[in-house]
Structure 1
Amino acid sequence: MRIISALLLAATAGLLAPTASANVDPGQAAPAFTLKDVNGKDISLAQFKGKTVVLEWNNPKCPFIVKHYVSGNMQDLQRSAGKDVVWLAINSTNPKSSDFMSAADLGKWLGEQKSQPTAYLLDPDGKVGQAYGAKTTPHMFVINAQGTVVYDGAIDDKRNARPEDAKTANNFVRAALTDVAAGRAVANATNQPYGCSVKY
């Protein structure tokens, strides 16, 4: 009982921090960040001011990420987003995790998947992931040209790791981008993401 009481006290005191410590809701300003990409180049959100930006939390070793890349779903979504949409994949995996991959290995993986995000960014200390409240891989965000988060949630409505389901799912990110391009409010602006937990 003493051990249980101590754990409860620690949790109440905030010593047992949740996986994602913040939460960015649609309508809020997107937290600013600068991260290095897999080539060692500094990439900041600010440099894409005036453009629509998609953030994709990514971990190649997660079966839910595998689902969307093996099926070609994520690559198709990246291409169909268009040249006016910036696509930033972010990896917040802690270097001590067994899921951690080096920048070189991540770059090689991107090539193997024929994936073409605008940049693949490294967030090894998890600060950007926690600023956004990224919970899963994938966890998707859409930011409009004014720098406001307009979508936060799952990639689609087929909440499983089966590649064959990716193509027939209702894709929430595609729908959000369509709404943004049409100049209207995103109809489904937030929902619960699904996937592997981010390995902070």
Structure 2
Amino acid sequence: MKNSRPTSRGRFGAFAFAIVVPATFIGLAQASESEGPQGSEILEAETRPVVLELGATAPLFSLPTLAGRPWSLAEQAGKAVILEWIDPDCPMVTRQHSPEGSLRLLQKRCEGRRDMAWIAINSSHPSAPQSKEDANRAARESFLIDYPIGLDSTGWVGRAYGAEKATYVVLIDPSGKVAYLGAPDDGRENQLLSQALAHVTQNEPFDGASMPATGCAIRYADGVKLGAALPPLTFRTMDGEILHPHQFLGAPLVIEWFNPLCPVVQAAHQTGGALADAPEAWTAAGARWMFVNSASIGHESTGDRTAKKLAEWGYDDLMVALDPDAKLMEAFGAKVTPHMFVIDGRGVLVYVGGHTEKTNRKMRPLDQLLQAHEEGKLKAMESVPAAFGCSIERE
């Protein structure tokens, strides 16, 4: 039975979810020493998303490549690394890789260097023609690319690095810090990328540089698919603490999109509802349960309303992520509240769907998954009810 403990932020507090830079890929980032804000006005001011910044530690990732071998940023430790976002159909990318293009010329100057690595990344929607393997192979030949092309079909790596356009470029120094963000060099007027690369490869003091990205807009995937790996995302608590989902590896993580004002959410969590005892049952089995509210900053469903409703239901010790910039919503493809996602202990998505069947409210897919977890047989559930409920409030 759920208890009626006093209202509080709980053991983990409320979380602001954003694509930010973790101290390590698996583990806990450095926590802020500041105390958490009190009151909804301050809380809302503190939940603005954190973005990738110069000097921050680059999020680690691994991607499949055209060659069939995974490419891992962790394996490039001690090297300067260039991440280049490409789109085989983008005229700007074609120009940059022409014989006199800046990226092509920089690539030629870097050939054979053992102190650096380079990867092109295609984060296009998997249904887009430019995301197909044949298109990328043709681009590799046409652009004379002799470095790996990473296939970011989920779009999680692109989102983690703030890539909005091809030809967006990120330079990471040998210590793993971000040294450059933005457009590549453009003729004689802009040589910032080349200058940044010279500084970091010669171990010279460098504060970093950036230029507004140019090129073709990246169309990302609508959401995650079963079998996808946990993305390189982190989230921040109201206390300023930065946490990384990978610290929870080893046990399942249940993510529920949540709005305390939604009648469907309320019915699901009230006595007899499809989710009434689910958070308690999952956490008792060693799993984690995280609520996500993707409403815009200042919306009436955020702030103290969320904390009060969760305390009323006895959930005040569970994790709550506030996603005011909709980065998490876009990455997972959440459409309504409640919308359910389950990630197993390996960090692999095994469930995407509804909390119950719309025409059969006795159907409890989360209970079936919990039983499978307790039996050591948790795996992807492909036949699932569609998510239904209230649209996510973005105004």
* Fold equivalence (TM over 0.5): yes
Residue aligned with 1:37, SS:
coil
Equivalent residue in structure 2 for 1:94, among 125, 149, 159? 125
Equivalent residue in structure 2 for 1:45, among 56, 73, 87? 73
**How many angstroms does 1:36 deviate by?**
0.4
Does residue 54 (structure 1) correspond to residue 74 (structure 2)? The answer is no
Does residue 115 (structure 1) correspond to residue 115 (structure 2)? The answer is no
> Comparing 144-153 with 76-85, which one deviates more in the overlay?
76-85
The 8 Å contact of residues 180 and 209 in structure 2, kept in 1 or not, is answered as yes
Higher helix share: 1
The 8 Å contact of residues 154 and 191 in structure 1, kept in 2 or not, is answered as yes
Partner Cα distance (1:25, 1:44) in 2? 21
For 2:102, the equivalent position in structure 1 comes to: 73
Unaligned ranges ≥5, structure 1 = 1-20, 157-165
C-alpha change, 1:173 and 1:58, in structure 2 (3 Å) is: same
Partner Cα distance (1:81, 1:186) in 2? 20
For 1:172, the equivalent position in structure 2 comes to: 192
For 1:63, the equivalent position in structure 2 comes to: 91
Partner Cα distance (2:109, 2:152) in 1? 26
Q: Deviations over 1:26-53 (max 9, x none)?
A: 1111011010011221111001011100
Residue aligned with 1:54, SS:
strand
For 2:54, the equivalent position in structure 1 comes to: 26
**How many angstroms does 1:187 deviate by?**
5.7
Partner Cα distance (2:53, 2:68) in 1? 30
Letter of the 1:199 counterpart: R
The 8 Å contact of residues 154 and 172 in structure 1, kept in 2 or not, is answered as no
The 8 Å contact of residues 38 and 121 in structure 1, kept in 2 or not, is answered as yes
Letter of the 1:24 counterpart: L
Unaligned ranges ≥5, structure 2 = 1-48, 221-395
Letter of the 2:58 counterpart: A
For 1:152, the equivalent position in structure 2 comes to: 181
For 1:106, the equivalent position in structure 2 comes to: 136
**How many angstroms does 1:113 deviate by?**
2.2
Letter of the 2:131 counterpart: M
For 2:201, the equivalent position in structure 1 comes to: 181
Moved over 4 A (4+): none
Equivalent residue in structure 2 for 1:143, among 159, 162, 172? 172
Greater relative contact order, per chain length (Cα 8 Å cut-off, separation 6+): 1
Letter of the 1:43 counterpart: W
Partner Cα distance (2:206, 2:133) in 1? 34
Q: What RMSD over aligned residues (CA atoms) do the two structures have, in Å? A: 1.9
Partner Cα distance (1:189, 1:72) in 2? 21
Which structure: larger Rg? Answer: 2
Residue aligned with 1:78, SS:
helix
Partner Cα distance (1:150, 1:181) in 2? 11
What's the % identity of the aligned pairs?
31
What is the number of equivalent residue pairs in this alignment? 169
Does residue 195 (structure 1) correspond to residue 226 (structure 2)? The answer is no
The 8 Å contact of residues 55 and 208 in structure 2, kept in 1 or not, is answered as no
For 1:163, the equivalent position in structure 2 comes to: none
Partner Cα distance (1:92, 1:39) in 2? 17
